[in-house]
Amino acid sequence: MSEIAILKIWRGPDKTAGCFESYEVPYEPGQSVLDGLRWIRVHKDPTLAFRYSCINANACKECMMEIDGETIYACTTRLEPRNMTVEPLGNKKLVRDLVTEIAPPQERLRQK
């Protein structure tokens, strides 16, 4: 049987209303956690929210999240054939799922 990675992902609009959900992702050596998250959107649930732009280049620095408790980029962290916990950044305001408010305040829309 081919190997799988199990991603346990925080889902929800804020830190009090939400829960972890687990997704099985086919594992291929060399993949990143971001590859796994993108696979989930295409094959399981397109509403899973996370930030990324450059996909793999580690240039945009938008895909930062907490993976197994460590603050790290999803596109440079290898997917592994085991349970992995993926959470939004703990020190930033949560927007939805794995998305947090990471832009400096002066680069956000000022809502009156």
Instruction: Give me 50's structure tokens.
Output: 């996370």
Query: Under rule CB under 8 A, which residues in 18-77 are in contact with other proteins?
Result: 29-32, 38, 41-43, 46-49, 52-62, 73, 75-76
Q: Outline where DSSP puts E strands in the chain.
A: 4-11, 19-26, 64-67, 70-73, 83-87, 94-96, 99-100
99 CB-near residues (< 8 Å, 6+ apart): 49, 50, 51, 88
Q: Which does 63 bind (CB under 5 to 8 A by kind): ligand FES, other proteins, none?
A: ligand FES
**111 scored as a contact of other proteins (CB under 8 A):** yes
**15 scored as a contact of other proteins (CB under 8 A):** no
- Cβ proximity of 11 and 48 under 8 Å: yes
Residues that bind other proteins (CB under 8 A): 13, 29-32, 38, 41-43, 46-49, 52-62, 73, 75-76, 78, 95-97, 99, 101-103, 106-112
> Which residues of this protein are in contact with ligand FES, per CB under 6 A?
34, 52-55, 58-63, 73, 75
